[in-house]
Structure 1
Amino acid sequence: MSDKAKNSKGKKTVVESEMTYEQKLERENELLRLEVEYLKKLRAFQMDPEGYLEKHKQRYHSNSKKSSN
């Protein structure tokens, strides 16, 4: 295992050990909510890719393309 991997693993353990049980549960809850949200979007995309992309396409500002005068 590389030193970088060991350091990041060690930091995670220190941070987690400093968290209270309630904070750990809140963090887990947040991660689960994000996962559910992601899976819902994935399912919507799989069911209708074109409709999903049309609904969620990015809107570009009119000033992003400067006119040359």
Structure 2
Amino acid sequence: MSKNQKAKLPKQEKALSREELLERENELLRLENAYLKKLKAFQEKPNASLEKHKQRWHSNSKKSNLCG
């Protein structure tokens, strides 16, 4: 981030209304919550994501084999 962009950030936040600030905070909290849920799921079952991708790859390869 350039120095000009850093200098503009506080000015932009002041221009936002209280409602806009709360909406922004709410969105950030939703993103954090979703991230933490995925992290917890990965910690509980680290291979689950790998298995899901394997299933998708197998189903996609079967479709391409049928067409060609």
Gaps of 5+ in 2: 62-68
Aligned-pair identity in percent equals: 54
More helix by share: 2
Q: Which runs of 4+ in 1 moved over 3 A?
A: 58-62
Residue 67 of structure 1 is matched in structure 2 by: none
TM-score, normalization by structure 2: 0.69
2:15 to 11, 14, 18: 18
Residue 36 of structure 1 is matched in structure 2 by: 33
Gaps of 5+ in 1: 63-69
How many equivalent residue pairs? Answer: 59
Root-mean-square deviation (CA), in Å? Answer: 2.5
Amino acid in the other structure paired with 2:9: K
